[in-house]
Amino acid sequence: MKSEPLYKAGKITRVHGVKGQLSISLHEPELFKDYMFEVLFINPGGGPVPFFVSSFSFSLNKNILLVQLEGIEDKASASAFVLKEVFMQPSDLPEPDEKHFYAQEVIGYLVSDLVAGELGRVKEVMDLPMQQIFLIMKDDKEILIPAVEGILLKIDRNLKTILLKAPDGLLDIYLTPGPDEEEE
């Protein structure tokens, strides 16, 4: 039986305090604001290992999760986890609504703009410091669109589609033929 791949939830950025709390930057923090963290997987080297969470607090405005792991009780032992990726089992993830998503789930979804129509399929969700970006393939062109509230209108998981409203002029950069592409 093949197990489902783990979901990459975030990255440990630093140790917080003398008792070894870990500060985790989450990739989709909005999805976890009401979530109860019980088990996290961390790859200390050699593959992800489950760690039980003894306590946690969440700061949505900073997109930071502070966790205390069982068995990690001081700054020295916690420092070995800094810059390590944090994973979760997909079956443990909270259910997102129609405007939120997990980066891994939307790969291959068909993206349409409210004005321009069908754009192409999501090839990648780029995780930049300030926001996520959809990398969409239309024929052999790449289109980059911020995957943020206000632009993202609806995700239909049954149809595997995303509806968005790109900022004025953004799609022109990608869809208007350049001088070397125009027909003679």
What sign does the dihedral 51-52-57-60 (CA atoms) show? Answer: positive
Domains 7-92 and 103-175 share a fold: no
Q: Where are the domains of the chain?
A: 7-92, 103-175
**What's the CATH code, domain 7-92?**
2.40.30.60
Whether residue 86 contacts residue 40, with contact meaning beta carbons closer than 8 Å, is answered with: yes
| pLDDT for the residue numbered 184 | 47
CATH pick for 103-175 out of 3.40.50.1860, 3.30.420.40, 1.10.357.10, 2.30.30.240: 2.30.30.240
CA dihedral of 119, 122, 127, 129, whole degrees rounded to 10: 10
Question: What was the pLDDT predicted at 2?
Answer: 47
Q: What is the DSSP string of 41-68?
A: EE-SSSS-EEEEEEEEEEEGGGTEEEEE
Q: Mean pLDDT per segment of 10 residues, for the chain of length 184 residues?
A: 71 90 83 78 87 85 83 90 88 75 86 94 85 89 90 91 93 80 54
pLDDT for position 84: 92
Whole-number Å distance between alpha carbons of 52 and 61:
25
